[in-house]
Amino acid sequence: MRLRHLGYACQNLTLGTKSRTVRLANVRTETLIPVITQNLEDVERALRWNLEHGLRFFRISSDLIPFGPMDVFPFDWEEAFAWKLKSIRKLVRKEKLRVTSHPGQYTVLNSPRPEVVDASVDELEHQARVLRAMDPKGTMTLHVGGAYGDRPAALERFEQNLSRLSDDARQRLAIENDDTTWDLPEVVELAERTGLRVIPDLFHHLVFPDDTLPDEELAELLERAAATWGRGVMKLHQSSQKPGTRVSHADFLDMDDVDRLLALMDRVGDADAPYDVMLEAKRKEKAVLEVRRYLETGERPARAVPMETVEEAG
């Protein structure tokens, strides 16, 4: 397969964009309107900046519409911001951009607690609605959840609760392996049973406890993951390990990790079939541009003093 787009998540450090929110106690029309307006304007600014720099893949924050799926939300945000959403959607369609989302850690579809599952279903429906308004083909990424001391039961709950999602939300959903509970082989098997798509995260695979596979077997897993996308363009996640940590993302990519990803994907599928990679590096668009320079020139970046890191929003 061939690499098509590199993307980054949620914040553009060059522009200083970020996802703004409000306190639950302040969920009122007059406080939400300016916050959501700025959030959506920042998305459009980031997309236009990306286009100027040849980037066509972007993950929006899951917090663009603060408390959007909750009953306390005081108005129809899609109707109120139809003008701005239309502008973003028009840009996405015209320029063939790819927009995705990644609901946060509290969206747990296989929780044994009914109230958590209820909230998770609401959140996924909300995220699907946001994506539909911006990118009709946009997908949302979800981790399988916890094991809760009974792995078969946890998987069964996940599959059962999928039926609670609308067709639109389910069709947008893709599942990702994590770094502690559900490894890539398990996630691929779950996707094949449920008809969901798989987003392999190679960093999570690398740091998963006691889960080492030779590259030949890993390539076979990636082949199966690619098959879950059908005629759609496969998406992967990639990052590098921050020195001195087990699961923290580094500021930039280690080019050895980039080389390994490319070598693995060279062994997957049709050589002309495209795939996209979301780089989950702390330095966001700066990391993407650095990787692109490496791919274009073969020159590895020099590392002098570590740059200040930022926490990823959404």
| Residue 106 to residues 142, 205, 314, Cα–Cα distance (Å) | 11, 22, 11
* Other C-beta atoms lying within 10 Å of the C-beta of residue 301: 13
Q: Contact 199/221 with Cβ under 8 angstroms?
A: no
Determine the Cα–Cα distance for residues 304 and 301; give it in Å rounded to an integer.
Answer: 10
Taking alpha carbons only, the member of 222, 290, 213, 215 closest to residue 250 is 290
Sheet holding 140-143, edge to edge: 140-143, 173-176, 197-199
Per-residue pLDDT of the chain (314 residues), as tens digits, is 999 999 999 999 999 998 888 888 888 899 999 999 999 999 999 999 999 999 999 999 999 999 999 989 999 999 999 999 999 999 999 999 999 999 988 999 999 999 999 999 999 999 999 999 999 899 999 999 999 999 999 999 999 999 999 999 999 999 999 999 999 999 999 999 999 999 999 999 988 877 678 889 999 999 999 999 999 999 999 999 998 887 889 999 999 999 999 999 999 989 999 999 999 999 999 999 999 999 999 999 986 544 444 444 34
Structure tokens, 189: 């098997």
Q: pTM (2 decimals)?
A: 0.92
pLDDT given for residue 310 in this prediction? 46
Which helix (H) or strand (E) segment holds residue 5: the answer is strand 2-9
pLDDT given for residue 247 in this prediction? 82
* Other C-beta atoms lying within 10 Å of the C-beta of residue 314: 17
Q: Contact 308/38 with Cβ under 8 angstroms?
A: no
Which helix (H) or strand (E) segment holds residue 87: the answer is helix 82-95
pLDDT given for residue 14 in this prediction? 96
pLDDT given for residue 303 in this prediction? 67
pLDDT given for residue 211 in this prediction? 64
